[in-house]
Amino acid sequence: MNNETMPNFLIKRAFLTPDRIAVYFQDKALTFKELYDYSLNVAGQLQGLGVRKDDFVGVLLKNHLDTVIIFFALQLLGVKSVILNNRLTPSELIWQLEDSTSSLLILEDSFTDIKMVINQQLASLATITKSDLFAKENDSADIKEEISLSDICTIMYTSGTTGHPKGVLQTYGNHWWSATGSALNLGFVESDCWLCSVPLFHISGFSIIMRSIIYGMPIVLHEKFDVQKTIEDISDKKVTIMSVVGTMLTSIVDALTVSGLPEHFRCFLLGGGPAPLPLLEACVKKNLPVFQSYGMTETSSQIVTLSPEYSLSKLGSAGKPLFPSQLRIELDDHTAASPQHAGEIVVKGPNVTAGYLNRPDATKEKIREGWLHTGDIGYVDEEGFLYVLDRRSDLIISGGENIYPAEVESVLLSHPDVTEAGVTGTDAAKWGQVPIAFIVKREGAALTLEEIHQFCLTRLAKYKVPKQFYFAEQLPRNAAKKLLRRHLHELINEK
């Protein structure tokens, strides 16, 4: 279909604004022209290895300038990149590589053990370290000058927070509309510069490099989140926007002195999980602009974001669906819920995936008539602002009452001596399930279990107050720093 055709994004960007900076990484800065030249070279090296258009190629790389180059080299060839999470075990990686029928895996030089195990157990798969790839002779690459918006660009497995991960198909169109929807909400100004310290293998990070080439905007890429480096670079590199998850924002708030952040800084885009109200309030106090957002791998990052003018009056809301997208709340009988009534969050839009790789059943179950059933519970208010309550699978039903772990965690986190909190359900004969809580104390705090119990009793209805509290050194989190509630129980056995 002709109306779905666009020029290859990087080629177009390098043509439009060749001399603008694309990426700052450590002490290097690359223009769009240089990014294109390097990517073209690597595309030739990949072609020399036999990689061809429409192949699936696995990528297991850290946040690094080279990673950005490799991602764009793969796009120049029209390859589908299977983007793998660095924190997975070899057997999880092998599962995803087999599931995606990847023909090659590109990985970090330092991942020698993983490479060995994969070579032994999946002999049919070719593997190459990035240094070996960069040392290859390069053919002149067969570049895909045009893309179709419905072509698959990336496959990203869901975080597996709730179970076995599924390969989410993300097209060029999904990325295009995600970037466009974001700009139509946040606005885009020529001075914009986006700091990326969330993983590039996660949609939160990958979407930043796609925005970079679509907008012509520089990004500052960090290998990982470092609070001091964040504060320094926001000033020195004139960062205007930064994507964060709750735990990152908490450390930034704690580390900032009264003077806050420089004027040019426009906002933190907060996503990935529940935004505890105490954290949002602390940001208001310190004058830190935060836009809460809601999204997932299946929506190629945010699909709902709070517009700047509502950031105070609708504090705690994830906002309204972005311009190209729609949202409704569905009850169990599939009818639409009225405002203030909780139900499943269901979304639709050109940034929403067409489905899961090799999983027609899961695709059919989750996407009906273009509406993605997210598995998350929320409600909208009379004006259409979304409030996310929790994942349906994490809901605790106690004596017939619904308890949302995120609400209880938010209360726990409002205690000054609590830095992390996780709540889950445990079986109880009389009630079906009751909530229990796991807490990480602020260092040196003398908080007792009884104190925290009393604190909850004055702030939560009795049935929501955890029946047991446990202190922990740390809580189980995945690579995106998301709380893995289904692993909380294991902390009890560790005691």
* Closest separation in Å from C-beta 406 to ligand ATP: 7
- Label the pairing between strands 386-391 and 371-380: antiparallel
* Closest separation in Å from C-beta 417 to Mg ion: 32
Is the four-CA dihedral 339, 343, 348, 351 of positive or negative sign? Answer: positive
Stretch that binds ligand ATP, among 131-139, 186-194, 208-216, 268-276 (CB under 6 A): 268-276
Q: Residue 173 or 271: which CB sits closer to ligand ATP?
A: 271
- Label the pairing between strands 241-244 and 267-270: parallel
> Which run of H or of E encompasses 11?
helix 9-16
- Which among Mg ion, ligand ATP, none contacts residue 391 (Cβ within 5 to 8 A by kind)? ligand ATP
With H, G, I as helix, E, B as strand and everything else as coil, classify residue 84.
Answer: coil
Stretch that binds ligand ATP, among 46-54, 267-275, 282-290, 319-327 (CB under 6 A): 267-275
Q: Is 349 a binder of ligand ATP (CB under 6 A)?
A: no
* Closest separation in Å from C-beta 298 to Mg ion: 7
Q: Is 441 a binder of ligand ATP (CB under 6 A)?
A: no
Q: Return d(Cα 169, Cα 55) in angstroms, integer.
A: 14
Question: Residues 141, 195, 208, 318: which binds ligand ATP (CB under 6 A)?
Answer: 318
Q: Which two tokens stand for residue 82?
A: 């299977």
Question: Residues 294, 356, 379, 404: which binds ligand ATP (CB under 6 A)?
Answer: 294
Q: Is 388 a binder of ligand ATP (CB under 6 A)?
A: yes
E-strand ranges in 26-125 read 28-31, 56-60, 80-83, 104-107
Question: Residues 181, 205, 246, 272: which binds ligand ATP (CB under 6 A)?
Answer: 272
Q: Return d(Cα 404, Cα 425) in angstroms, integer.
A: 10
Q: Catalog residues that contact Mg ion under the rule CB under 5 A.
A: 158
Q: Which residue is nearest to Mg ion (CB)?
A: 158
Q: Residue 294 or 455: which CB sits closer to ligand ATP?
A: 294
How does DSSP assign 291-360, residue by residue? Answer: EEEEEEGGGTEEEEE--GGGTTTTTT--BEE-TT-EEEEE-TTSPBPPTT--EEEEEESTTS-S-BTT-H
Q: Is 374 a binder of ligand ATP (CB under 6 A)?
A: yes
Q: Return d(Cα 42, Cα 76) in angstroms, integer.
A: 10
Q: Residue 81 or 317: which CB sits closer to ligand ATP?
A: 317
Q: Residue 105 or 198: which CB sits closer to ligand ATP?
A: 198
Q: Is 274 a binder of ligand ATP (CB under 6 A)?
A: yes
Q: Residue 9 or 294: which CB sits closer to ligand ATP?
A: 294
Question: Residues 185, 482, 485, 491: which binds ligand ATP (CB under 6 A)?
Answer: 482
The angle subtended at Cα 184 by Cα 179 and Cα 190, nearest 5°, is 80
Q: Residue 148 or 162: which CB sits closer to ligand ATP?
A: 162
Q: Is 297 a binder of ligand ATP (CB under 6 A)?
A: yes
Q: Residue 158 or 433: which CB sits closer to Mg ion?
A: 158
> Which run of H or of E encompasses 432?
strand 432-441
Q: Is 412 a binder of ligand ATP (CB under 6 A)?
A: no
Q: Tokens 């390098």 belong to which residue?
A: 14
360 phi-psi bin (left φ>0, alpha ψ -120 to 50, beta other): alpha
* Closest separation in Å from C-beta 179 to Mg ion: 21
Question: Residues 167, 205, 216, 273: which binds ligand ATP (CB under 6 A)?
Answer: 273
Q: Is 218 a binder of ligand ATP (CB under 6 A)?
A: no
Q: Which two tokens stand for residue 367?
A: 């996407």
Q: Is 409 a binder of ligand ATP (CB under 6 A)?
A: no
The partner residues of 169 in beta bridges, in order of sequence, read: 155
* Closest separation in Å from C-beta 294 to ligand ATP: 4
Q: Return d(Cα 132, Cα 109) in angstroms, integer.
A: 8
Q: Return d(Cα 257, Cα 228) in angstroms, integer.
A: 12
By rule CB under 6 A, what count of residues binds ligand ATP? 23
- Which among ligand ATP, Mg ion, none contacts residue 376 (Cβ within 5 to 8 A by kind)? ligand ATP
Site track for ligand ATP across 142-171, x = CB under 6 A:
----------------xxxxx--x------
Q: Residue 148 or 158: which CB sits closer to Mg ion?
A: 158
- Which among Mg ion, ligand ATP, none contacts residue 10 (Cβ within 5 to 8 A by kind)? none
277 CB-near residues (< 8 Å, 6+ apart): 315, 316, 410, 414
- Which among ligand ATP, Mg ion, none contacts residue 405 (Cβ within 5 to 8 A by kind)? none
The CA-to-CA distance between both ends of the chain, in Å, stands at 60
- Which among ligand ATP, Mg ion, none contacts residue 273 (Cβ within 5 to 8 A by kind)? ligand ATP
Question: Residues 34, 66, 151, 376: which binds ligand ATP (CB under 6 A)?
Answer: 376
**What backbone phi and psi angles, to 5 degrees, belong to 32?**
-65, -35
Read off the DSSP letter of residue 100: T
Q: Return d(Cα 100, Cα 192) in angstroms, integer.
A: 36
Stretch that binds ligand ATP, among 121-129, 174-182, 290-298, 332-340 (CB under 6 A): 290-298
Q: Return d(Cα 263, Cα 256) in angstroms, integer.
A: 14
* Footprint of ligand ATP (CB under 6 A): 158-162, 165, 271-275, 292, 294-297, 318, 374, 376, 388, 391, 480, 482
